[in-house]
Amino acid sequence: MTTLPDLPHDSPATPHDLEVMREQLGRDMRGVVSIARRCGCGRPAVVRTAPRLEDGTPFPTSFYLTLPWLTLELSRLEATGMMAELSQRLEQDEQLAAAYRGAHERYLARRAELGDAEEVRHVSAGGMPTRVKCLHAVAGQALAEGPGVNLIADEVLAGIPGAFPELTCRCQAADEDAAEAR
Ligand SMILES: [Zn+2]
């Protein structure tokens, strides 16, 4: 197996990160290996997770998005029916489809660096390799790996101000929105 380059933004998860993630998710984040990407403010944005949780459950989502404002933006896009459109484009555009298959292979190879969960050995995330089913999952990969690995996710993220390739902090504005909604 060829060795992949190091993840460009990866850093250790500190006890403080675990606390922040608990706030972000409203529960403990399980299977944390490292922080694959941080928001501009330093908060965890994408967590790299173990292929198998401590209780033995396989955990295929190797790059897990935790950043609330970005999660919300992607959920809004999902609500517009964007995944059906993107899946259709994959059927029509052979070049894009090949790139997406490459992103799938990369996802599996990256996860294999951390161990093996044979039940999900051929399962990546987000609908890869032929469909787009979860924008959060594919965006997690793009944010962790940088541009050019998952072209579908690159394009989706490019449509969100401040999300990609730099990840600018919008946490404060999101906190204020949430406060107003209360
Ligand atoms: Zn932030």
When pLDDT is cut at 50, 70 and 90, the band that residue 127 belongs to is very high
pLDDT level of residue 177 (50, 70, 90 thresholds): confident
Q: Which residue has the higher pLDDT, 182 or 164?
A: 164
Ligand 1 centroid, distance to 179 Cα (angstroms): 16
Dist. CA 141 → ligand 1 center (Å): 19
Residues in the chain: 182
Position 36 pLDDT exceeds 60: yes
Say yes or no to pLDDT of 32 above 80. yes
> What spacing in Å lies between the alpha carbon of 167 and ligand 1's midpoint?
9
pLDDT for 180:
76
Q: What's residue 167's pLDDT?
A: 96
Return mean pLDDT, the chain.
94
pTM for the complete prediction?
A: 0.94
- Distance from residue 168's CA to the centre of ligand 1 (Å): 7
Instruction: Inform me whether the pLDDT recorded for 1 exceeds 80.
Output: no
- For 22-26, 84-88, 177-181, which range has the lowest pLDDT when averaged over its residues? 177-181
Q: pLDDT at position 56, please?
A: 92
Q: Which residues surround ligand 1, an ion (CB under 5 A)?
A: 39, 41, 43, 169, 171
- Residue carrying structure tokens 């933006």: 73
Q: 43-99: per-residue pLDDT in tens? A: 999 999 999 998 999 999 999 999 999 999 999 999 999 999 999 999 999 999 999
Cβ-contact 47, 59 below 8 angstroms: no
Task: Of 50, 74, 44, 45, give the one whose Cα is nearest residue 62.
Answer: 50
169 CA distance to ligand 1 middle (Å): 4
Q: What is the pLDDT of residue 148?
A: 97
- What Å distances lie between residue 54 and 5, 49, 57, 86, 132, CA to CA? 27, 11, 7, 35, 29
pLDDT given at position 175: 74
pLDDT confidence of residue 182: 67
